C-alpha cells in the first residue's frame, strides 16, 4: 500500500539524527496508520495495538543511531513494530485452542471425509458482500495465536518463512507446517461463513 505522504528519506533521516522534533512528527504521521493496521492484525486488541505502535516509535527513536540504512526507514519501523507485537503476544500467552476440527480429515483410503466446497461459487457469494475483507480479518482473528501470527506475518505482512522463523524463534519447517494448517483452517472457516459446508 503506497503512502500519500512522500518525502526524501535520507534527508528525513539526517533531520531525525539531528534531533529535529518536526522530523520525528513527520515520521510518526507518515507511518502510524500502516503500523497500527499491522498491530491490529497481529494483536486483535485495540489498546494493545496502540501500545505496540507507541512502543515501536519509542524503540525506533532510541535505536536511531544503530539504523544502518540497509533497508528503508519504513521497513525498519515495521520490523520493530512486529517485534513489539510479538512481545505483547508472548506476555499474554495462555493455553491455545486446537484447530484440528477445522482441518481436513481423511478416510482410510486417503479420500477426504467431506468434499471441499467449490470455491467458484463461494467467490461469487463473497464478491456480493461489501464486507468481505472485514469478514476475512474477523475469521483470521478466530485462529489460535500461533497459527494466526504466522498467517498474518506471511500472507498479509509479506515476510519470508526464514524471517518469520527468526522472529518467532522457531525453525522454518515449523513455520511451513503452521502456515499450511492456518490456511486450511481459514478455508474451513470461510466455507462455514459462506454456507459452503457445515
pLDDT at 180: 93
pTM for the model stands at: 0.64
Tell me what the pLDDT averaged over the chain comes to: 81
Rounded Cα distance between 10 and 140, Å, is 37
The confidence score (pLDDT) of residue 4 equals: 38
Q: Give bridge partners of residue 112 from the DSSP assignment.
A: 106
What structural domains and CATH numbers belong to the chain?
9-91 (1.10.1740.10), 100-193 (1.10.10.10)
Number of neighbours of residue 47 by Cβ within 10 angstroms = 8
How far lies 156's CA from each of 4, 78, 91, 101, in Å? 20, 13, 23, 24
Which one has a higher pLDDT value, 171 or 92?
Answer: 171
What does the alpha-carbon distance between residue 176 and residue 45 come to, in Å, rounded to a whole number? Answer: 26
Amino acid at each position: 500500500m503506497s503512502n500519500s505522504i512522500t518525502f526524501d528519506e535520507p534527508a528525513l533521516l539526517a533531520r531525525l539524527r539531528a534531533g529535529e522534533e518536526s522530523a520525528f512528527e513527520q515520521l510518526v504521521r507518515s507511518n502510524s496508520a500502516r503500523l497500527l493496521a499491522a498491530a491490529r492484525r497481529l494483536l486483535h486488541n485495540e489498546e494493545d495495538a496502540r501500545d505496540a505502535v507507541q512502543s515501536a516509535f519509542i524503540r525506533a527513536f532510541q535505536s536511531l543511531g544503530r539504523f544502518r540504512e540497509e533497508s528503508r526507514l519504513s521497513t525498519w519501523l515495521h520490523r520493530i513494530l512486529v517485534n513489539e507485537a510479538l512481545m505483547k503476544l508472548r506476555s499474554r500467552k495462555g493455553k491455545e485452542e486446537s484447530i484440528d476440527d477445522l482441518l481436513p480429515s481423511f478416510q482410510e483410503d486417503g479420500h477426504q471425509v467431506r468434499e471441499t466446497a467449490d470455491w467458484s461459487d463461494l467467490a461469487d457469494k463473497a464478491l456480493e458482500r461489501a464486507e468481505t475483507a472485514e469478514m476475512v480479518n474477523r475469521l483470521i482473528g478466530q485462529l489460535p495465536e500461533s497459527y494466526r501470527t504466522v498467517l498474518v506475518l506471511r500472507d498479509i505482512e509479506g515476510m519470508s518463512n526464514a524471517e518469520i522463523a527468526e522472529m518467532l524463534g522457531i525453525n522454518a519447517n515449523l513455520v511451513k507446517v503452521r502456515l499450511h494448517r492456518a490456511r486450511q483452517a481459514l478455508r474451513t472457516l470461510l466455507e462455514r461463513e459462506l454456507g459452503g459446508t457445515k
